[in-house]
Amino acid sequence: MNLEVDRFFKTNILPPQGRIYLEIKREIELAASGNSANGFLAVLGLFACTEYLGKIASQNEGSYTRQFKTFFRMMGVEYGRLLDSKDIDVYQMFRSGFVTSYFADECEIQIPKKDSSSGIVIKPDGAYIVIVEKYFEDFMSTCQTLYDDVVEEDEVWLPL
């Protein structure tokens, strides 16, 4: 076991004490209690951290766009379908849209996890919904998978 990787993931990412887990979970809980601003902060954190974990998954190779898309695709088949769609540039629309353009005005943010196979849904009218709890669930599951994949590696790039 790579102790540096283990410490990094448990301190910074994974439940029950990882900072990313705790901070995004707190924002989701605050948003669920009626503070809509926290829904935006939870989504913003999730998209920023999707890129951050993509850096680890891609060993810090490639562009930020590639790093985001690497981890996003790891999150499941539905996320891969969004990436493969010719109608949407997922990185520009969601990661850059939330981080640099305040895309929240054009995208519905739902906190409770509805029956959905993905944390991002395109409605029949073309509008977007980010289902925060579902995205968070898929995100954390993929973080665990990434940890399981790299914890036994001797050489792993970590943002230190």
Rounded to two decimals, the pTM is: 0.91
Q: For residue 111, what pLDDT is reported?
A: 83
Q: Report pLDDT digits (tens) over 123-146.
A: 888 888 889 999 999 999 999 999
The DSSP string of 93-151 is IIIIHHHHS-GGGGEEEE-S--S-SSSEEE-TTS-EEEEHHHHHHHHHHHHHHHHHHHT
Q: How confident is the model at residue 104 (pLDDT cuts 50, 70, 90)?
A: low
Most confident of 38-52, 65-79, 100-114: 65-79
